[in-house]
């Protein structure tokens, strides 16, 4: 069984380790822990991870955030992966830093990456792992905050949060959406 695991982010050194690139950071941590590497390809960098008969295609889109749907659609079609086997990893301002929430569907909550994926796929019924980045910014400062780097305190907690996100991804593929939500949400 094949799964498409998409970490949202923006390519380029200026975006590296910014809050908006937490999807890339989660996949990089999972790849490092699994001793696999990404290779550049069409619409993004990909790597394949196999666990107990499940094959996960990890994707870091190169389309920039606002056109993420193009990469998702291409790789779904290329690898013949059904929508229920797609998981999008995304930053979320509505959650405190490090909070992880798995959902089977939902609105884009103003997130341009999710908005484009929904528009491209024609549905919001796809799983997403929301990684909380907090919202400690002044009025009108959202863009600078999202495109800013994580603070020192957040970085101390980051390795454990990235590891847990990796466990959630593996559980999604092995145990399914509902069991994984029950096991990990609100923890």
Evaluate whether 129 touches 100 at the Cβ level (below 8 Å).
yes
Residue located via tokens 């390809």: 41
| Residue 3 known to bind ligand | no
User: How far apart (Å, rounded) are the C-alpha atoms in residues 10 and 1?
Assistant: 29
| Residue 126 known to bind ligand | no
User: How far apart (Å, rounded) are the C-alpha atoms in residues 70 and 75?
Assistant: 9
20 is a catalytic site residue: yes
Catalytic residue among 20, 60, 161, 170: 20
Which structure tokens are listed for 24? 């890339």
Reference 161, options 153, 78, 69; nearest CA is: 153
| Residue 112 known to bind ligand | yes
Which structure tokens are listed for 90? 């995304």
Evaluate whether 2 touches 79 at the Cβ level (below 8 Å).
yes
User: How far apart (Å, rounded) are the C-alpha atoms in residues 33 and 27?
Assistant: 10
Reference 33, options 177, 149, 162; nearest CA is: 162
User: How far apart (Å, rounded) are the C-alpha atoms in residues 9 and 182?
Assistant: 27
Query: Which residues have a catalytic role annotated?
Result: 20
> Can you say which residues are annotated as belonging to the binding site?
15, 64, 66, 112
Residue list for the binding site for tRNA: 15, 64, 66, 112
């Amino acid at each position: 069984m094949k799964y498409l695991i998409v970490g949202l982010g923006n390519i380029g050194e200026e975006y590296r380790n910014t809050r908006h690139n937490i999807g890339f950071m989660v996949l990089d941590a999972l790849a490092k822990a699994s001793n696999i590497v990404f290779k550049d390809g069409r619409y993004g960098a990909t790597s394949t991870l196999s666990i107990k008969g499940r094959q996960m295609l990890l994707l870091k889109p190169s389309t920039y955030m606002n056109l993420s749907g193009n990469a998702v659609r291409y790789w779904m079609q290329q690898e013949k992966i059904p929508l229920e086997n797609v998981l999008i990893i995304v930053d979320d301002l509505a959650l405190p830093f490090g909070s992880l929430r798995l959902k089977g569907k939902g609105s884009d909550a103003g997130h341009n990456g999710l908005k484009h994926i929904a528009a491209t796929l024609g549905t919001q019924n796809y799983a997403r792992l929301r990684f909380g980045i907090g919202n400690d910014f002044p009025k009108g400062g959202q863009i600078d905050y999202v495109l800013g780097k994580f603070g020192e305190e957040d970085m101390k907690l980051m390795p454990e949060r990235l590891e847990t996100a990796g466990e959630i991804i593996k559980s999604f593929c092995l145990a399914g959406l509902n069991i994984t939500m029950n096991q990990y949400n609100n923890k």
